[in-house]
Structure 1
Amino acid sequence: MCCEACSVTQRKGWIFGFGTFFTAIGIALLIFWNGIADNIMKKNLVIKVGTEAYNNWVEAPIPIYLEFHLFNWSNPEEIRNPNVKPHFVEMGPYVFLEKHLKQNITFFENNTVSYFQKRTWFFDEQRSSGSLDDMVTAAHVITATVADQMRHRNKFVKKAVNFILNHEGGELYTTKTVREWIFEGYKDRLIDFLNLFNTTIPYTRFGWLVDRNGSAEYDGLFTMHTGVDDMANLGRLTHWNMKNETGFYYAPCGTVNGTTGDLFPPHLSSKQEITIFATDACRYLNLAPNGTVEKYGITAYNWVGTMETLDSGENYPNQKCFCDPNVEECPKTGVVECKKCRNNAPIYASFPHFYLADRSYLDAVSGLEPDSNKHSFNLAIEPTTGIPLQVNGRLQINMMIEPDNDFDIYRGLPKFLMPMFWFNQIAVLDEKLASRTKLVMNLGDYGFYTGIVLITIGGIFFIVAIVLTLTKRWKRTPIDDDEDMLTT
């Protein structure tokens, strides 16, 4: 047996020493581990070259999918029949695998970083319900845009525009393939004609995401906090396209605010709102806490879009600045105007199927059925680390159709908001990253329980030492060949 030649004093020193050592380490862990764990977590979460968080931020490590749902206008020929509502049939989803890559990354001395975000989409036929060659009928966007821009011009100008629309390709509606409506775009007589006069139409083909696939610059230049100096600011945007105001809404609604949705600070409260900056609407969206979500043994707080999220001041006065005071009528709750953001086209955003919007929008059409499970905007975030667990970013793009007796195409029409399409951006944390997340979020517990174990071990050494002292059994003396006995 070890230490057989040790004196009683040496044996006491060893046992009391081990007890003191383990107890001291255990107590130190209980006192200081939370600070150590926070430093470890900070090093793993801040955006700094060389960290795992930086690598995951530059290129998303989990699959992201974009679901496209287009609305087919099934009865456009009956638009002037007051007894028949415009009817829409949802088609899709047409699903695309979405790859994210940060480019032109530049760090600044004030602990911010600027970057472009390149997004590339690949059609996933297996996940889709339908083909990109499906035909979809919807409003002719260019005609609607021209008519809306000319709505308040004098009669002479409007007569000239009416002549152009009637003879150069103006239409109430058009039918194109899904691939043309989304990424490829389609050639159009009216676009060609308007481009001859260097008008404000900024494209040669129309498609909802034309020229966007694979483009780094389309979404703009983002500048955000890295979290190096203050983790509470991690991911928060300071500028978009080098400005802290969008220019599309009056302050404070035009302020560049929130995160892009892929990065959040740690230690989130279940009672606070979170803010997402949505480039498709050129504005921020406030989401409210709403329960929890569990996946892979991780419990996350869930945030959702509410009636306030897309209100323009009708029910929530603090949202009034999202309505241009120069317009004749602000949208009712649940719908926001995006004209300036979308090249002055009469575009309005809402949740899918007018979920949480004023009932009048839904009553003006048929074929839509809002459902909170299918159409809510929700975001589940693990609160300790700020890592998104599950994302369903859902928005619908609509076009305002208004009657105008000066334009033959729009004479005698009802006024209604036409649903064009809605999308769902989906991202779900995979099991591998979930395991890493649990490791980081449980660091504090690991230190606490390790401290308790070490203190327990130290206590056992002290108990043994005390028992040996009280029983005076520190010294070994042999009794026979087979056994030893501790004696004083």
Structure 2
Amino acid sequence: MGCCTKLCGLKAGIGIGLAVAIVGIILIPVGKTIIRQTVEKESVLEPGTTAWDNLGSVGPPVYRQFWLFDVQNPLDVVQNGSKPIVVERGPYTYKTRYIPKENITSNPENHTVSFLLPIGAIFEPSMSVGSEHDNITSLNLAVVGMYRKLDDFLVEALIKLNSVSLFQQRTVGEMLWGYKDPILKGTLGIFYPYNHTYDGPYRVFTGKDDISKVAIIDTWQGQPTVTFWNNKYCNMINGSDATSFPPFVDKKKPLYFFVSDIARSVSAEYIESLDLKGIEVYRFKLPSLTLAAPAVNPDNLCYCTDPVVTKNCTMAGVLDISSYRGVSVFISLPHFLHGSPDLVEAIEGLHPIEDHHFTFLDVEPTTGFTLRAAKRLQVNMMYGPSNVITVLKKVKDYTIFPLVWLNETASLDDETAEMFKRELLSRIDMLDTVQFTLIGVGLACFVLCLVAHCVVSRNGKK
């Protein structure tokens, strides 16, 4: 009788153990479904969700660090046609994007939300090598701005009338944000106008009807495409604004985003997984083909707008945004990283370094939020030979000259990291713990009871 009781109890233990293990196994897909549904719900850009709260908040501080190129031999360049020698000065750091988005408007009829992004810059002395009043020698923006835009005889007359040259000395603040130019009688600056301006308006999809479209740009400045490249492909606006992407990021697929600074879309490729304050992130990097010559990357042919300067579109590493900015401005990676050797060799003092000058995004794969990023760009202008303009008579060839390169960075702070882990990752970890505990305990119970049942049965027969 006692043996039968033991066997019945062990059989019940076998059944209970197996049932517990099965519950744990069932919870794996069920748990994933619960997580997916929760993340998708909170990712939709509508009032009451986490994504909506993030849209209306200031977010982590964004900083722009500037390194300006200080010309050491301006007279030698003008009088003898020598190669310019530059020294990098910086960083001069400004806090930007410290103002929340404005005019946030929900458009439920087409599942979009609109907003304006205010632009401003506050100097951060503690994060800078010096003052905004530090002097540097750089290109005369008016002279190179008029070059190839106006008649050479007119440019020569204006230069002589105002006693200026190819280079000028200005403060850091003047070069970045603007100064009164004696030739044009107006304000010139590399980033003028900047403060009290806006980027946008943007209209992005909410993801309400299709979560794979959340944060994807529908229109920018009221248009679904840009109009600066005279080509349907290059004018396309693809992806988000890079602050977030649709959830459940696939590292095998590139991320697309639109960069308003250069009015074009780019992509980034996965390179590695990293730990950021206890959170796993996927690092996506701007590939070297982004600014490659059309012979290497045919998709870039429509971005080649000046065959003379770009040597019949064979030059790699620069993007002519003159049609966007209205003046001859070329964008590149810092120190002409991934650019044609001629670009670096034309200027003494440039040293492109991959680890220091590349652009990346660190994206949390479950939510699609960008938790850390560094956007690195260089602003250049061009000058070349002239038989009329005195300050250009000794110049031997077209020169794309670096004015400044910037590193725009943002990263989540400790408080936000803890909140992120508490609200999302801890729940995922807890669910995993419950699942594997049930499976482990159930299997252990099943095996032990099964072994004991065999032993008791054998003893009973004896």
TM-score category by the smaller chain?
Answer: 0.7 to 0.9
What pairs with 1:85-484 in structure 2 (closer than 5 Å)? 85-98=83-96, 99-108=98-107, 109-150=109-150, 157-168=151-162, 171-183=165-177, 185-192=178-185, 204-215=186-197, 217=198, 219-249=199-229, 250-324=231-305, 329-330=312-313, 332-343=315-326, 345-414=327-396, 415-439=398-422, 440-441=424-425, 443-453=427-437
CA distance 1:465–1:77, change in 2 (3 Å): closer
Q: Where do 5+ consecutive residues of structure 2 fail to align?
A: 1-12, 451-462
Q: What's the CA shift for 1:231? A: 2.2
Aligned-partner Cα distance in 2 for 1:269–1:464 = 42
Partner of 2:76: 78
**What is the letter of the counterpart of residue 206 of structure 2?**
T
Query: Taking structure 2 as the reference length, what is the TM-score of the superposition?
Result: 0.85
Partner secondary structure for residue 126 of structure 1: helix
Q: What's the CA shift for 1:49? A: 1.8
Tell me the alpha carbon deviations over residues 86-131 of structure 1, each in whole angstroms, 9 at most, x when there is no partner.
0111111011122142111122222111211013322111111111
Aligned-partner Cα distance in 1 for 2:222–2:30 = 42
Q: What's the CA shift for 1:271? A: 2.0
Partner secondary structure for residue 288 of structure 1: strand
Do 2:378 and 2:406's aligned partners in 1 also have CA atoms closer than 8 Å?
yes
Partner of 2:5: none
The number of residues matched between the two structures is 440
Do 1:287 and 1:309's aligned partners in 2 also have CA atoms closer than 8 Å?
no
Q: What is the CA RMSD across the aligned residues, in angstroms? A: 3.3
CA distance 1:51–1:348, change in 2 (3 Å): same
Aligned-partner Cα distance in 1 for 2:340–2:21 = 65
Aligned-partner Cα distance in 2 for 1:313–1:86 = 28
Partner of 2:10: none
Partner secondary structure for residue 164 of structure 1: helix
Higher Rg of the two aligned structures:
1
Aligned-partner Cα distance in 2 for 1:21–1:290 = 42
Do 2:66 and 2:407's aligned partners in 1 also have CA atoms closer than 8 Å?
yes
Aligned-partner Cα distance in 1 for 2:374–2:239 = 17
CA distance 1:67–1:325, change in 2 (3 Å): closer
**What is the letter of the counterpart of residue 144 of structure 2?**
A
Query: Taking structure 1 as the reference length, what is the TM-score of the superposition?
Result: 0.81
Does 348-357 or 166-175 show the bigger shift? 166-175
Q: Which has the higher helix share?
A: 2
Aligned-partner Cα distance in 2 for 1:75–1:459 = 78
Following TM superposition, the consecutive aligned residue runs of length 4 or more in structure 1 with deviations greater than 6 angstroms are: 18-25, 455-466
Aligned-partner Cα distance in 1 for 2:308–2:207 = 40
Q: Where do 5+ consecutive residues of structure 1 fail to align?
A: 1-14, 151-156, 193-203, 467-488
**What is the letter of the counterpart of residue 346 of structure 2?**
A
Partner of 2:455: none
Q: What's the CA shift for 1:325? A: 7.0
**What is the letter of the counterpart of residue 131 of structure 1?**
S
Tell me the alpha carbon deviations over residues 257-315 of structure 1, each in whole angstroms, 9 at most, x when there is no partner.
22212111122222222223111111122222222322222222212222211124131
Partner of 2:34: 36
Does 19-28 or 229-238 show the bigger shift? 19-28
Aligned-partner Cα distance in 1 for 2:57–2:387 = 52
**What is the letter of the counterpart of residue 270 of structure 1?**
K
**What is the letter of the counterpart of residue 110 of structure 1?**
N
